[in-house]
Structure 1
Amino acid sequence: MRPDGGHYDHEDRDGEYWAPNDAQQNNHEAIVHHLCILTLNDRLYLAPIGSNPKRILDLGTGTGIWATDIADKFPDAQVIGTDLSPVGPGMQPDNVTFEIDDCCSEWVYPDHHFDLVHIRGLFGSIADWPQLYKEAFRHLRPGGYIEQVEWSVHNRSSDGTLSHNTVLARWSQHAIRTGTMTGKTFEIAENMAGLIREAGFVDVVEKRFKWPIGPWSSDIKLKEIGRWNLLNWEEGMEGWVMAGYTRVLGWSYQQVQDWLQEVRAALRDRRQHLYHEVRLVYARKPQ
């Protein structure tokens, strides 16, 4: 975090991605990873890639937590994680490498190279999703898979407790407006299955999951996910909105802080039973 209370951005591509790159964001990314593992019942992916993939690419790898885990799972595979800024030093397996790269630029890898291209949480950061899927298609071997996980910015209620003017409904509206103004949609979760199919992929499978906000669900697993998701929001939300609200929507730093106080209060309101969707899509490049 900067001395003024803000966050450090990605050094090489300032403004390309809305989330900060600092210790607080890195801790938050570990929470998100845990949520995804909970959601997928201790699995890192769902695509039927077989037991012996040779090359795996993780776009927008962040701290490299998913890439590191998948490298541990497949010690004979070459795993590459790419991001706009370097991954910090850590105890990575020998078969994972991290590269500074912009996935929106032309890819430098050979065609027909990867068994799996993995994407997670790049909503709001890609201007041309069809082009990205085209690159993924070109660089996957025939029979290889793309898999993408994104969370919806549309907060919903299970019992009508979220009206149009409530704080967490307006939160969704601000995200959509930011995406419209930047040309980088925050609604890719709702659209990725169709766009992936249009890119030429087949056997497109979409899975939808519910992430409660808070432990209100009577379902044991959803209650646990809700607890972690509340922590996800509380730890992550300043980083989610600071750049977009100040640079795009024209808010001051103090206006953002005042808004976040309202959001924190709304998150803790036990009268609201809120959730948002998480969608996972995987699809195969034809033989």
Structure 2
Amino acid sequence: MTHPIQHDQRARGASHDDDAAAVPSEPLPRTPSCDLALDPGQHLNSTHNDTIQQHLLASHGYDLEVDSSSDRSHILRSPDNDTTDSDSAIGSSSANSVTTSLNSQVQDYRFEFGRRYHAFREDQYWLPNDEDEADRLDLQHHVWRMTLDGALYAAPLAPDIHRVLDIGTGSGIWAIEFAEEHPSSHVIGTDLSPIQPEWTPPNCQFWVDDAERDWDFGGTPFDFVHARMLILGMHDWRRFFEQAWQHLAPGGWVEVQDVCLPVRCDDDSVGPDDPLATWSHLVREAAGKGGIDTEAGTKFGGMLSEQGFINIKEECIKWAIGSWPRGKKQKQIGVWTLENLSQGLQGISLALFTRQLGWSREEVELFLVDVRKDINDRSKHYYWVMYNVFAQKPLEDQQAPSPDRISRSNSNSP
């Protein structure tokens, strides 16, 4: 089996004196007329045109360079150390509201391969919903916060934002932390599984719902719709953006962050048949058989533009898999991305490979032994391509621009 892996010479090993130094990079290309920031003195849905300031937003992208140093222990820390105090509040006993909406039918879980899977809308999502998976989702959340320099989102939201919707909330950690950081907001998190904690902030609640069915939230529009890492559960992204449009107030924002499979490499350290490269192509193949496009992130900007959104900003970000890159932030993200993938390999693979590719459980587990060895090989310079995209629904007196007005931060594009 042969699969193409992208190659260029940018990531060839070179000696660097400062293991933790930031990687120097050229400024990312921008289209300033489409970059924006909201004046915090104005309400999110203000009709004043001068609330949108035409200047550059912060960039979270960077190039990856190989670090040849062997002494890297001093920068490998828990992701909790690099986030805000609110990160530890999940499940806090100080919360005083039980707000999770449950139904006995959706708690009739299915157990397979020693893992627990959701029963509601079975076969719409391939990953488990047990405690191990919830822990992995929390770790993944912290990696995103490191990526966004401690923030929960990149869109220029007003500080007094009100109604917020988190689609595919998973463990609920993003919704809980957003509610704590924005006490004026009311946050609804939806998911196929009711695995979120019962004790939450009073302005946060969770609903069991299928994001691919018609949304019904009582008719009151949202100011912000957020979705993260839905790539293995979303079959129709155009419908998703259409529903986000329908449920956003004029001037409201939608933001999506997701991964693009297969994995990438920018040098010759990875061969096309290496285990992790092969695994990622198999995931793409199996997901495709189930109607899922694992490279949908490359099309988000175009879909948003077609729907009529404006002020579209796309950012392509690289997550190294392992401690191989130079630079403190890049290395920390790489270490915890490797841990996230290590914890998720079995859960991602078992249902997909057995149901879509016809593998036995034993074949999957044996194959994953080689994949785990491969991802822990520091000489392999694997990385994920992550897409962070947000856009605004126009005010009633605004019109959407042409598609070429999309702002792209794509110097790191694969």
The answer, yes or no, to whether TM exceeds 0.5 is yes
Question: For residues 56 and 108 of structure 1, what CA distance do their matches in structure 2 show?
Answer: 14
> What is the CA deviation profile of residues 181-221 of structure 1, one whole-angstrom value per residue up to 9, with x for unaligned ones?
11121112222121122121111101121111110111111
Alignment: residue pair count: 287
Q: Would you say 1:204 and 2:312 are equivalent positions?
A: yes
Match of 1:277, SS state, is strand
Match of 1:83 in 2: 191
C-alpha separation in 1, matches of 2:112 and 2:164? 39
CA separation in 2, counterparts of 1:4 and 1:123? 22
Structure 1 stretches lacking a partner, 5+ long: none
Contact 1:152 1:278 in 2 (8 A): yes
Give the aligned residue type for 2:229: G
Q: Are 1:271 and 2:379 matched, yes or no?
A: yes
Distance 1:3 1:247, change over 3 A: closer
Per-residue deviation at 1:46? Answer: 0.5
Structure 1 residue 56 and structure 2 residue 56: aligned?
no
Aligned to 1:31: 139
1:108 alignment partner, SS class: coil
Task: Give yes or no for the alignment of 1:227 onto 2:335.
Answer: yes
Q: Is the 8 A contact 2:321 2:382 kept in 1?
A: yes
Quick one: distance in 1 between partners of 2:302 and 2:330?
A: 28
Residue 152 of structure 1 aligns to a residue whose secondary structure is strand
Residue identity opposite 1:265 in structure 2: K
Match for residue 216 of structure 2 among 94, 100, 108 = 108
Whether the aligned pair in 2 keeps the contact of 1:112 and 1:138 (CA below 8 Å) is no
Q: 1:11 aligns with which of 96, 108, 119?
A: 119
Q: Rg: which structure is higher? A: 2
The percent of aligned pairs where both chains have the same amino acid is 37
Q: Larger helix proportion, structure 1 or 2?
A: 1
Paired residues for 1:228-243 under 5 Å: 228-243=336-351
2:368 pairs with 1:260: yes
Counterpart position of 1:118: 226
1 CA distance for matches of 2:380 and 2:261? Answer: 17
Once the two structures are TM-superposed, the CA of residue 2 in structure 1 deviates from its matched residue by: 8.6
CA contact 1:111–1:140 (8 Å) conserved in 2: no
Instruction: Give the Cα separation in 1 of the matches to 2:264 and 2:231.
Output: 18
User: Counterpart in 2 of 1:281?
Assistant: 389
Cα pair distance change 1:9/1:71, threshold 3 Å: same
Q: How far is the alpha carbon of 1:111 from its aligned partner?
A: 4.8
Residue 217 (structure 1) aligned with residue 325 (structure 2): yes
1:67-216 superposed matches below 5 A: 67-111=175-219, 113-216=221-324
Moved more, 172-181 or 98-107: 172-181
Ranked by relative contact order (alpha carbons within 8 Å, sequence separation 6 or more), the top structure is: 2
1:41 aligns with 2:146: no
Asked if structure 2 preserves the Cα contact closer than 8 Å seen for 1:6 and 1:242, the reply is no
- Aligned-partner residue type, residue 222 of structure 1: Q
Instruction: Go from structure 1 to structure 2 and tell me whether the alpha carbon gap of 1:218 and 1:181 turns closer, same or farther (over 3 Å shift).
Output: same
Q: Report if aligned partners of 2:192, 2:210 keep a CA contact under 8 Å in 1.
A: yes
For 1:36-74, what per-residue CA distance to the aligned partner results, in whole angstroms no more than 9, with x for missing partners? Answer: 000000000010111111100000001100000100011
Distance, in Å, in 2 between the alignment partners of 1:264 and 1:86 is: 30
Which residue pairs with 2:42 in the alignment?
A: none
Gaps spanning 5+ residues in structure 2: where?
1-108, 396-414
Letter in 2 for 1:124: L
Give the Cα–Cα distance (whole angstroms) in 1 for the partners of residues 306 and 196 of structure 2.
Answer: 36
